[in-house]
């Protein structure tokens, strides 16, 4: 069902395709969809995007938004993530995720996780922190804890946490 994006005999410009049409109506997408090698490339891109969409829905939202399916090789996929923390979390979920992908009709037995620290960055921005604010119940629990603590570094840390989240 899946083929690697580039095979060893892949030649982007065959001698027949070297003679380009100079008509203004010929677009790159049109060429891709009508050229045998381009059509395979376009099909692979569509499959990778479809698989990425399914995978993003299976994974927790904060993780699903940060992945890119980079390759399908037989029954193994390679997924890129932006940080070691994302990689560690995804590696914890690979067995169950592969099972859910199979249940969804994708013949996937293994998920390989790779880190690409530059993923989604333009070279000048820092990765956005993905945090969720503490809810009221959590804040009340920390207030209760603070009342039970003796003065010291831990009590000070809990006080700073409460001050920060009560803003």
**Structure confidence at residue 62 (pLDDT):** 87
Give the CA angle between residues 112, 113, 114 to the nearest 5°: 120
Give ranges for CATH 3.30.300.180 in the chain.
1-11+25-128
The structure's pTM equals 0.54
Per-residue pLDDT tens digits for 71-112: 889 899 999 999 899 999 999 999 999 999 999 998 999 999
CB 91 within 8 A of CB 113: yes
- Structural domain 1-11+25-128, CATH architecture: 2-Layer Sandwich (3.30)
**Structure confidence at residue 132 (pLDDT):** 75
- Say yes or no to pLDDT of 48 above 60: yes
Cα–Cα distance for residue pair 52/69, rounded to 1 Å: 5
Q: Which of 1-5, 17-21, 58-62 has the highest mean pLDDT?
A: 58-62
C-alpha separations of 4 from 15, 75, 84, 102 in Å: 23, 11, 26, 19
The encoded tokens of residue 154 equal 């831990």
**Structure confidence at residue 126 (pLDDT):** 62
């Amino acid at each position: 069902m899946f083929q690697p994006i580039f095979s060893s005999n892949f030649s982007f410009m065959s001698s027949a395709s070297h003679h380009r049409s100079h008509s203004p109506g010929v677009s790159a997408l049109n060429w891709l969809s009508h050229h045998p090698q381009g059509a395979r490339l376009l099909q692979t891109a569509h499959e990778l995007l479809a698989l990425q969409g399914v995978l993003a829905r299976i994974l927790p939202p904060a993780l699903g938004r940060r992945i890119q399916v980079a390759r399908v090789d037989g029954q193994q996929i390679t997924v890129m993530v932006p940080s070691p923390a994302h990689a560690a979390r995804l590696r914890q979920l690979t067995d169950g995720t592969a099972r859910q992908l199979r249940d969804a009709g994708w013949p996937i037995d293994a998920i390989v996780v790779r880190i690409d620290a530059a993923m989604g960055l333009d070279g000048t921005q820092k990765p956005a922190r993905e945090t969720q604010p503490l809810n009221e119940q959590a804040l009340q629990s920390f207030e209760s804890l603070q009342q039970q603590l003796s003065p010291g570094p831990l009590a000070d840390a809990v006080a700073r946490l409460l001050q920060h989240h009560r803003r």
